[in-house]
Structure 1
Amino acid sequence: MSNIAILCSGGDVSGMNPAIKHFVEYSLKKDLTPFFVYNGYEGLIDNDIQEVSYRDVSGIINRGGTKIGSARSKRFMNPEYRQIAKDNLDALNINMLVVLGGDGSFRGLDAFYKEHSIKSCGIPSTIDNDIHGTDYCLGVDSALNIIRTSIDAIRDTASSFNRAFIIETMGRDCGYLALISALTSGAELCLIPEREHNISDYEDNFKTQMAHGRKYFIAIVSEGIKQDPQEIAKWFEETIGIESRVSILGHIQRGGNPTSYDRLMAYKFVNYAIDGLLGSHTNSVICYTKDGFIYKSIDEVTGSAFKLDPDLLRLLEDV
Structure 2
Amino acid sequence: MKNIAILCSGGDVSGMNPALKQFVEYSLQNGLTPYFVYDGFEGLIDNKIEIATHKDAAGIINRGGTIIGSARSKRFMQKEFREVAKKNLDALSIDMLLVLGGDGSFRGMDIFYKEHGIKFCGIPSTIDNDINGTEYCLGVDTALNVIKDSIDNIRDTAASFSRAFVIETMGRNCGYLALVSALCSGAELCLIPEIEYDLKEYEKSFKEQIKSGRKYFIAVVSEGIKEESSEIAEWFEEKIGLESRVTILGHTQRGGNPTIYDRLMAYKFVNHAIDGLLGGRDESVICYTKKGFEYKSIDEIANKKYELDSELLGYLKKF
Q: How does 1:170-209 map to 2 (within 5 A)?
A: 170-209=170-209
Q: How does 1:1-319 map to 2 (within 5 A)?
A: 1-319=1-319
How many Å apart are 1:283 and its aligned residue? Answer: 0.2
Amino acid at match of 1:54: H
How many Å apart are 1:133 and its aligned residue? Answer: 0.2
How many Å apart are 1:52 and its aligned residue? Answer: 1.2
Amino acid at match of 1:130: D
Amino acid at match of 2:43: G
How many Å apart are 1:120 and its aligned residue? Answer: 0.4
Q: Secondary structure at the residue paired with 1:62?
A: coil
Q: Secondary structure at the residue paired with 1:234?
A: helix
| Residue-by-residue CA offset, 1:140-171 (whole Å, 9 max, x unaligned) | 00000000000000000000000000000001
Gapped regions of structure 2 (runs ≥ 5): none
How many Å apart are 1:8 and its aligned residue? Answer: 0.1
Cα distance in structure 2, aligned partners of 1:302 and 1:232: 33
How many Å apart are 1:300 and its aligned residue? Answer: 1.2
How many Å apart are 1:216 and its aligned residue? Answer: 0.3
* TM superposition outliers: structure 1 runs of 4+ over 3 Å: none
Amino acid at match of 2:280: S
Q: Secondary structure at the residue paired with 1:262?
A: helix
Cα distance in structure 1, aligned partners of 2:230 and 2:52: 49
Cα distance in structure 1, aligned partners of 2:39 and 2:199: 43
| Residue-by-residue CA offset, 1:245-290 (whole Å, 9 max, x unaligned) | 0000000000000000000000000000000000121100000000
TM-score, length of structure 1 as denominator length: 0.99
TM-score, length of structure 2 as denominator length: 0.99
Amino acid at match of 1:301: I
How many Å apart are 1:298 and its aligned residue? Answer: 1.1
| Residue-by-residue CA offset, 1:126-149 (whole Å, 9 max, x unaligned) | 000000000000000000000000
**Alignment root-mean-square deviation, CA:** 0.5
How many Å apart are 1:27 and its aligned residue? Answer: 0.2
Cα distance in structure 2, aligned partners of 1:82 and 1:316: 45
Cα distance in structure 1, aligned partners of 2:172 and 2:132: 16
How many Å apart are 1:200 and its aligned residue? Answer: 1.3
Amino acid at match of 1:22: Q
